[in-house]
Amino acid sequence: MNNSTLMFGEGGLPEDPYEALAIWLREAEETEINDPTAMAVASVDEDGLPDVRMVLLKGYDERGLVFYTNFQSRKGEEILGQRKAALCMHWKSRRRQFRARGSVEVVTEAEADAYFEGRPHGSRIGAWASDQSRPLESRSVLEERVADVEARFGEAVPRPPHWSGFRIMPTEIEFWQDGEFRLHDRFRFTRPPGGAGWDIQRLYP
């Protein structure tokens, strides 16, 4: 395949999509005004109705892409129910889009603990205080809950049992780079069924 691309310059498109993602994230970090790791994650409920919201990508490797959340939130329940998700990142400063979809696994307890322990104290308190996605009567109720959690745990705030990470394990990954006159560059990586490695296809814009 002719690997000449608008997106990866002279080196061409890496054969490993995670290597390609690392390049794009590095470049996005240099130019995005904030949150270069922000991604929209889509899930579906039991009726097949989609939902989408932003989260932060907190890690990735050849197994997939990880974010952390409250498992009792809307997204938590939908993803635990269907075990499938899609994600999309858009870097305006680079005119680039990255998307992926696949099945989802829960990260290990050890991974979730390690990430949680590295969070600021206030965020660890918040993970206990917030019934994410449930109705909240008033801001003061949330503030009281924060004070209660602080009084309960002090400095050593353990990870709540309902707070962990999801790993989206893509079977499809796409890189999109804006081109002149809408003649964009698109490459789709697909996992061959049961196989290792990736098939790469160039797509019409």
Ligand X SMILES: Cc1cc2nc3c(=O)[nH]c(=O)nc-3n(C[C@H](O)[C@H](O)[C@H](O)COP(=O)(O)O)c2cc1C
Any contact of residue 54 with ligand X (CB under 6 A)? yes
DSSP tally for the chain: helices H, then strands E = 5, 9
The catalytically annotated residue of 182, 186, 188, 191 is 182
**DSSP-assigned letter for residue 93:** G
182 is catalytic: yes
Return the number of other C-beta atoms located less than 10 Å from residue 141's C-beta.
11
Position 73 contacts ligand X (CB under 6 A): yes
Strand partners, 105: 167
Q: How far is the CB of 58 from ligand X (least distance, A)?
A: 7
- Check binding of 141 to ligand X (CB under 6 A): no
Quote the least distance from Cβ 163 to ligand X, whole Å. Answer: 9
DSSP string, 159-197: PPTTEEEEEEEEEEEEEEE--GGG--EEEEEEPPTT-SS
Find the shortest distance in angstroms from Cβ 71 to ligand X.
Answer: 10
Residue 22 engages ligand X in binding (rule: CB under 6 A): no
Tell me the residue type at 1: M
Q: Is 69 in the site for ligand X (CB under 6 A)?
A: yes
Is 75 a residue that touches ligand X (CB under 6 A)?
A: yes
Token output for 115? 């990430």
Say how many CA atoms lie within 13 Å of 5 toward its Cβ.
24
Q: How far is the CB of 36 from ligand X (least distance, A)?
A: 10
Question: Which of 131/150 has CB closer to ligand X?
Answer: 131
DSSP E strands in 20-162: the ranges are 38-44, 50-56, 59-61, 64-70, 84-91, 96-106
Residue count at the site for ligand X (CB under 6 A)?
A: 16
Considering only 9, 50, 56, 62, the residue that binds ligand X (CB under 6 A) is 56
Using the contact rule CB under 6 A, the part of the chain among 23-31, 71-79, 95-103, 142-150 near ligand X is 71-79
Distance between CA atoms of 191 and 173, rounded to whole angstroms? 9
Q: Which stretch binds ligand X (CB under 6 A): 47-55, 115-123, 153-161, 181-189?
A: 47-55
**Catalytic residue positions, numbered:** 182
* Contacts with ligand X, residue ranges (CB under 6 A): 35, 38, 51, 53-56, 67-70, 73-75, 132-133
